[in-house]
Structure 1
Amino acid sequence: MASEKLDALPDLAGGQAPDDLAYVVDISAGVTGSRKSTLNDLFSIITRNITDKALRWQGSTAPAVSAAGAGAIYFDNVSNTFKASQNGAAYTDLIGGVGGSFYPLTPVVDADFAWVNQGGATVTTNSKGAVVIYAPPNSGDQLRCRVKAYPAAPFSIVMGFMPILVQANFFNCGLIIRDSAGGACASFGLGASNGAFSVGGIKWNSVSSYNSNYYSIGLSPHFGMQFLKYTDDNTNRVISYSADGEVFVDIFSVGRTDFLTPNQIGFMCDTNNTTYGSTIAVYSWLQS
């Protein structure tokens, strides 16, 4: 295949204008048999041959991650998933099934988080890309946490998650902030106690010692996707709640150093029940 410059272009299948300077030349039949075409014509030929309207990627190993402010996608034929790199970050599985175009989801990178008080808890990544903590039955509170460094304020984090809690005493799951030096924590999310579910905020002396409630608001059982927004505006910590990840209602605000000055943030699951365990599946973690 060779190429050459044309002073003028004929009106071929792509309907190109004379100032279209990109084209290809087929010299397989010799110079006298050359056929000149713009790239519009080339892609027209290609797409006409895709009879089932499908685009396909061949399995491959990961290319370089995307540049800052850009994105990249490829198909991994080992994990059998599409993977994407966003804004220079490592490749992660694209989320399918739950979410899609309805829920605004940003994949969670579990490698960014580390255990605090793992005990008998487990963490896995499910086929939809969610990071799942299972906290087994236990006597007494034990916050099983996945945490990372607390960002510099001001910032917001929107966490999309699905809880699996039994309507009994006592279970909690959601977002957590923690002071690693003194051990104090505050959690914000969903809970079950006294046969009811609630949206709540709790102060903890440590991952195994309850202090008191910040707030508790009754909630009808709804264990589809939940969205919790945590905002540190450099003055206050603001907690907001949403069922769709777009429309949020502020439900709590307190000074940013109230009870603790956190240096860690993440998500957790707490089981205080000797019969049933509890689970949180975190589908999305978006910091802005």
Structure 2
Amino acid sequence: MPSTDVLDSAMYHEETGSGAPFVFLHGNPASSHLWRKVLPGIRAGARLLAPDLIGMGRSGKPDVPYRFADHARYLDAWFDRLGLEDVVLVGHDWGGALAFDWAARHPGRVRGVAFFETIVRTMSWSELGEAPRARAQAIRSPEGEPLVLDRNFMVETAFTGGVLTPLGEEEMRPYLEPYPTRESRRPLLEWARSMPLDGEPADVAERVRTYGGWLASSHDVPKLLLTFDSSPTLLIGPEMAAWCAANIAGLEVEHCGPAGHHAPEDRPEAIAAAINAWTERHGL
């Protein structure tokens, strides 16, 4: 699959089909492998692209801090090198946040945004459940480095505890292979410490507030929120979905059934079907 030179490195992406570009953006600690069961179900007539974020998957691992701004900078370069215009974005987790950020800064190049289990606004520590709060506190503490860098905690737990059906060894392998060393796991730790809680980290909170303004005002851009149930790991539950319905312009909400946070592993067919129906309704 293609590898594209961007800035001082390269970004890998999966690609299939032809037509209007649909870009699928993964989050932490995933890669384009997340979309392997979703993409075959997306309707014909679209060019489907699923990149590995910089420092993740099979993309390059340059010597950068892997802050939100770094990911956005490399992703901007990837979009520009491929000349992508009139894009439909599909984002999960930090991929959804990067999709919102890119759309807010390139409003003339986006036709629609579908998203799920992502960061739609800043949150407070008190809004997190007891288990997610304890996990976030541990990762932000001095314990975070040995936990994520030495024990590979992020990948090992994401696809066993963050899904309803834990992955087997063969399906886990592509998620694990990009992170064989302590240093290779630094992007995962940085993402895990970047969730904007009570306004910190400030740079990420500001990016979220900025794209929140675009989400609230872009009435001409169709948006689709996919929701799920039956898992304690979900980021967008009924209360957050209701907030989205009240505060995001042009939004439709589609419930896709039981899934964990990494929903493409649990409900790929339902996700593809919801995206297909939405794009057909809006002629995307």
TM-score for the superposition, normalised by structure 1: 0.23
Larger fraction in helix:
2
Larger strand share, 1 or 2: 1
